Amino acid sequence: MNKQAQIIAIAGGGSTYTAGIVKALLMKGKTFPVAEIRLYDLDKARQDNVAVLVDYVVRTQAPHVKLTITTEPEVAFSGADFVFAQIRVGLYKMRELDEKIPLRHGCVGQETCGAGGLAYGMRTIFPMIKLIDQMERYAKNSCWMLNYSNPASIVADAVNRLRPNARVLNICDMPVAIERNLSNILGVNRYELDVEYFGLNHYGWFTSVKVAGEEKIPQLRAHIQQYGMLTEQEVENACHADPSWIKTFKNTQPLVQMFPEYIPNTYLQYYLMADDIVEHSNPEYTRANEVMEGREKKMFEAIAQIKASDGYVDGKFHVGVHGEFIADVAMSIAYDLRNKWLVIIPNNGLIKGLPDDAMVEVPALVGRDKVYPLQVGEVPHFYLGMLQQQLMSEKCLVDAALEGSYNKALQAFTLNKTIPSAKVAKKILDEMIEANREFWPALR
């Protein structure tokens, strides 16, 4: 097996997730050796700060690994084997508006779902294309971009239309985080689960969860209907452990009580329980505030601590499935392992009733030059109806971005299940246009 050490560039180097990803990568160093990690960001000050923590992680985990910090795409991507993308266009300041503007109109306010997700999508499409072009210009021909940048569904659709041949694989850690919780319920390691799943990103269902060939859906259904997707362990978990995440996992309880056949992605709460979510949201204090006062603040505290004393800061930054998953997918590509992972790929007949160019989240075998899809097949009417509505909302948004069309944007907002009418859609869209002047393409 070719074990040449990898050069990995992280775009969005100033992210709150960077240190956790680097730690997860370096912890796998024996099976997946890394020669160099490069952090790339547009925001030099933020990245330089985060780099203090990343440098600490490298020094304490794998001091032989070279760390490069840059705002130059050429320096970041030249000769790279992988680009891990995790950019947030507009930072938390814009996330806050994505969440608060819809809430002011009585609609779900969320990072990737509903009006907020559409607005975030409109900001992110063109910066992602630029990033891909820079990767293609400088990196190895064999380089893959593994993209975590949200909203992953919209990003995936736009990239598939504008750069269909680019080596970009869009991924999401939510199914893996759910698998972690399911494996805790079952008392097994999450790597022992063999799952079947279909849907769009942040919009799908597990149809099978097997351990050693045995179907565990009945046991999981019974547990979730009683407790939600939770055991005692989750409360102590570093990833997804804030009160709002615990509530999210708990909300799978009513969902599985109402629709017992499959196990839902947690994000379906925003579409199927929108009224409940809005009722329990505070338009003055949303998840963006919780993150800024939680994960981001803790990270900055750890950085200050390192600067002051070089003290021990483990536990003060985000580690867990998020970093493990992107490292696992990269390893599957690097060594052509063709491991089975849930990834976001063109439908091409996988889910009957969705167009070929829908970007669907499904299990596939991930290899060096190719992702090998596994068959999904027919899905019942209820699920297909939900998928089609969400897909077309997102497709209208991408149309709007590419054509600079106000009308298509209004159609995207109107089609979204979290928005009750065209009138409300228009009010939210018009406020979003104002708030996003600096970021959105002009809509006419």
Residues taking part in catalysis:
173, 267
Stretch that binds ligand NAD, among 85-93, 251-259, 328-336, 425-433 (CB under 6 A): 85-93
Length of the chain: 444
Which residue intervals of 105-173 are DSSP H helices? 114-138, 152-162
Residues of this chain, 32-51, that bind ligand NAD according to CB under 6 A: 41-43, 46-47
CB of 36 to ligand G6P, least distance (A): 26
Q: How far is the CB of 177 from ligand G6P (least distance, A)?
A: 6
Token pair for 251:
């909300």
**Backbone φ, ψ for residue 430 (5° rounding):** -65, -40
Distance CA 146, CA 391 (A): 22
Q: Segment 173-202, which members bind ligand G6P (CB under 6 A)?
A: 173-174, 177
Specify the 3-state DSSP secondary structure of 310: coil
Collapsing DSSP to helix, strand or coil, 35 comes out as strand
Distance from C-alpha of 177 to C-alpha of 160, rounded to nearest angstrom: 26
The closest residue (CB) to Mn ion is 172
Member of 8, 10, 11, 169 binding ligand NAD (CB under 6 A): 11
- Considering only residues 87, 158, 178, 397, which one is a binding residue for ligand NAD as defined by CB under 6 A? 87
CB of 139 to ligand NAD, least distance (A): 15
Contact between 153 and ligand G6P by CB under 6 A: the answer reads no
154 binds Mn ion per the rule CB under 5 A: no
Residues 170-209 that bind ligand NAD (CB under 6 A): 172-174
**Count of residues in contact with ligand G6P, rule CB under 6 A:** 9
Asked if 100 touches ligand G6P (CB under 6 A), the answer is no
Spatial contact of 398 and 441, defined as CB atoms under 8 Å apart: no
Taking the CA atoms of residue 43, residue 49, residue 51 and residue 55 in that order, the dihedral angle to the nearest 10 degrees is 170
Number of residues in contact with ligand NAD, rule: CB under 6 A? Answer: 27
Residue 86 neighbours by CB under 8 Å, 6+ apart: 10, 11, 12, 15, 17, 18, 21, 147, 148, 149
Q: Of 323, 344, 299, nearest to 28 (Cα)?
A: 323
158-197 binders of Mn ion (CB under 5 A): 172, 174
Q: Identify which range of 1-9, 52-60, 169-177, 353-361 contacts ligand G6P by CB under 6 A.
A: 169-177
**What CA–CA distance (Å, rounded) separates 156 from 359?**
6
The closest alpha carbon to 53, from 89, 88, 17, 106, belongs to 17
Applying CB under 6 A, the span of 41-49, 55-63, 168-176, 344-352 interacting with ligand G6P comes to 168-176
In the complex, the residues that contact ligand G6P under the rule CB under 6 A are 111-112, 150, 172-174, 177, 287, 291
In the complex, the residues that contact ligand NAD under the rule CB under 6 A are 11-12, 14-17, 41-43, 46-47, 86-89, 91-92, 127, 131, 148-150, 152, 172-174, 322
